[in-house]
Structure 1
Amino acid sequence: MRRADRLFLIIHALRGRRSAMPARALAETLGVSLRTVYRDVADLQLSGVPIEGEAGVGYVLRKGSDIPPLMFNIDELEALVVGTRFVRAFGGERLGLGAKAALLKIEAVLPPELRERSQRTRIFAPEMSHRIEASGLIDRLHAAIEARRLLRLDYRDKDECITVREVEPLCLAFWGGSWTLGAWCRLREDFRSFRPDRIAALHDTGMTFTDSSARGLDAYLHAAGATR
């Protein structure tokens, strides 16, 4: 966790409390040592954040310095919680970590009754080690899309025959049970959708490509009959 995120969470963990929060509880919430909590709180105090208390006693925001909570209704809150669970399970490691951090920030600024409600939803998306999302492949494809890196795929078709494709990766789409990689295929000179679970080998060519109107994301989505 970045230090900036940690400082943000300390402030919001203290907001609205009537009693001091022990440093140990802050450390457990943030997954850091007591020494780190002491140092961060001291830095916040020196920066003018009105935190009162001390090591061994606990910390609280000075009365009158509270900030208003984020305002979500029950359905909005449940949608956020369930959405982050799905991203954690199916979005790859990078987005999964981002979802965990986002949910922690959201829950940190909720009133107690809404925070408790957010933890009661019974819609789950369990994370499982054998799925493709845990292999790192989705993260590699995501990174290549963002950097516009030309990829070389050893790709299996439905008959298990392998062809080598050079592709310009444009987007990833999740269909509930499987992913597809939307790309411009240089071999076919057309748009194609590739299933990551059929990629036998993935090679970064070291080259990049330029997104163009004729073979970029919008053109791919139009050809696929889809919208953003």
Structure 2
Amino acid sequence: MTRTERLLELLQILRAQRYPITASTLSERLGISVRSLYRDIRTLQQQGVCIEGCAGIGYIVKSDFLLPPLNLSHEEINAITLGLNWVSHNTDYAFKNTARKALAKIHAVIPGELKNLIESQSYLTGPSEKNETFFEDIRDAIKNRKKIKIKYCNKKDVFSSRVIWPIALVCMESCWLLVAWCEMRNDFRHFRTDKIEEIVEMDSMYRENRTVLLKKWRIKEGICEGKEY
């Protein structure tokens, strides 16, 4: 991690805090010495970030003059917060953290009168019963266009081994549905993630562009752009 990347990460951590966070905690999370942490704090302060606090007590960002205000309506804030909160409860560990960081960024750049909408959100969400065991593995395979080999149990409780090209995850009411091209069937297939017993990421990438595959799947399913599956 370069120093520039570290400064951005430090700023992001501070933005996400509602209460002061100690230098020792910050230095541990960034993997640097406390002395280096103090230098980074001074650098951000010199660049216009209003960081309050001191050694032994902790630090917190009171305002961030580096970022322009983000103009969103009350209902837009409610919708975004609800969506990000849902992701932060119902996906894998890494994606949950991504959602929390995104929410912290939004909180940092919206006008002060809208911050209360995030801090006292009326639209709440909680954890579901969806199986998230392989969620991160599937996300990585989709992102990197990697083939995966799965052991799958169908609705008749019959097991099969498939090599598939994962292209999308669909959140259904009772489960996550993996959309993929199945080499065995030479066609698109849908797999309930809670019926997947095993996943092995293969070394090879699938040959078609994921966006092209997704478009072909949408056409086959009769799904228009912007329409829910």
Letter aligned with residue 197 of structure 1: D
Matching of residue 217 in structure 1 with residue 221 in structure 2:
no
Determine the structure 1 residue equivalent to 2:152: 155
Q: Deviations over 1:123-181 (max 9, x none)?
A: 222136x6422x2x111011111111111111111111101111111111112332111
Determine the structure 1 residue equivalent to 2:140: 143
Query: Gaps (5+ residues) in structure 1?
Result: 14-23
Determine the structure 1 residue equivalent to 2:131: 132
Q: What percent identity do the matched residue pairs reach?
A: 25
From 13, 20, 32, the counterpart of 2:26: 32
Larger Rg: 1
Letter aligned with residue 113 of structure 2: E
Q: Where has structure 1 moved over 4 Å in runs of 4 or more?
A: 33-37, 50-54, 56-62, 65-68
From 4, 28, 39, the counterpart of 2:8: 4
Determine the structure 1 residue equivalent to 2:31: none
Q: Secondary structure at the match of 1:169?
A: strand
Counterparts in 2 of 1:77 and 1:211: CA distance versus 1, 3 Å: same
Determine the structure 1 residue equivalent to 2:204: 207
Determine the structure 1 residue equivalent to 2:89: 89
Q: In structure 1, how many angstroms separate the alpha carbons of the residues matched to 2:75 and 2:222?
A: 31
Query: Gaps (5+ residues) in structure 2?
Result: 29-33
Matching of residue 79 in structure 1 with residue 53 in structure 2:
no
Matched length? 208
Letter aligned with residue 123 of structure 1: Y
Determine the structure 2 residue equivalent to 1:109: 109
Q: TM-score, normalising length from structure 2? A: 0.75
Question: Contact 1:167–1:185 (CA<8 Å) still a contact in 2?
Answer: yes
Letter aligned with residue 5 of structure 1: E
Counterparts in 2 of 1:211 and 1:61: CA distance versus 1, 3 Å: same
From 188, 192, 196, the counterpart of 1:191: 188
Q: TM-score, normalising length from structure 1? A: 0.75
Deviation at 1:52? 8.6
